[in-house]
Amino acid sequence: MVLSTIKWSIEDYHQIIKTGLLDDRPVELLAGEIVEMPREDPPHAYFSSEAWEYLTRLLGDRALVSQAKPITLPNQSEPEPDLAIVQPLGREYLSHHPYPENIFWVIEYANTSLEKDSTLKYHIYAEAGIPEYWLVNLQTAELIVYRQPRGRDYGSKMTLKEGAISPLAFPDVTIPIEAIISA
């Protein structure tokens, strides 16, 4: 006997959310599957909050730094990245979450979620055309920067432990690696 799973569309997912069935359950839609998110451990919560504060101050009105909020992607995914740096569209976000064309880059902090963030989310972000994906490996204190999405992969990968980086969207902005991985 072959078992088949049901793939959920973004519209289905929104309907399920409206029913309240998923209240009090930390989940996200990834490639048509409703996936439970692990609870944040203290280092994960600390580093992502510190980076959110730093990037919010640094970028000012140039971008909105969204913390653990949904983004809507065309591959039947509505992940909630730890940080999504998006266009500051104000009230437009009352009618939709940020789409790929609104997203400058996303950042995921990974400790217990490292496997999911480095495989499933990596492919989802690349496939959606997110220009830049920063994965912070809390186990090794490394920032892994993926750029140049090509299909389900990224064409460029850098692993950084020190120094500074300029995001593609803001080449005039220099971000010390320490502000992201050891705030």
> Is position 28 within any domain?
no
Q: Are strands 142-150 and 153-160 parallel, antiparallel or unpaired?
A: antiparallel
- What DSSP character marks residue 129? T
> Is position 137 within any domain?
yes
**CA angle (101, 105, 106) in 5-degree steps:** 115
Write out the residue range of the structural domain in which residue 67 sits. 40-181
Arithmetic mean of pLDDT over the chain: 94
> Is position 57 within any domain?
yes
> Is position 6 within any domain?
no
The pLDDT value recorded for residue 182 is 74
Least confident of 23-32, 147-156, 167-176: 23-32
In CATH, what number is assigned to the domain containing residue 89? 3.90.1570.10
Which ranges in the chain belong to alpha helices (H)?
Answer: 10-19, 42-59, 114-118, 120-127, 177-181
Q: Quick one: average pLDDT of 21-31?
A: 92
Q: What CA–CA distance (Å, rounded) separates 126 from 128? A: 5
How is residue 111 written in tokens?
A: 């400790």
pLDDT band at 183 (very low <50, low <70, confident <90, very high): low
Q: What CA–CA distance (Å, rounded) separates 43 from 183? A: 11
> Is position 11 within any domain?
no
How is residue 74 written in tokens?
A: 């065309």
> Is position 10 within any domain?
no
> Is position 13 within any domain?
no
Q: Which CA distances in Å does 15 have to 9, 110, 160? A: 10, 29, 41
Beta bridge partners of 153: 150
**pLDDT digits over 154-182, tens only?**
999 999 999 999 999 999 999 999 999 97
Burial level of 136, CB count in 10 A (0-12/13-18/19+)?
buried
Nearest to 40 by CA among 80, 95, 90, 91: 80
**pLDDT digits over 53-108, tens only?**
999 999 999 999 999 999 999 999 999 999 999 999 999 999 999 999 999 999 99
> Is position 26 within any domain?
no
Task: Tally the domains of the chain.
Answer: 1
How is residue 157 written in tokens?
A: 């990968």
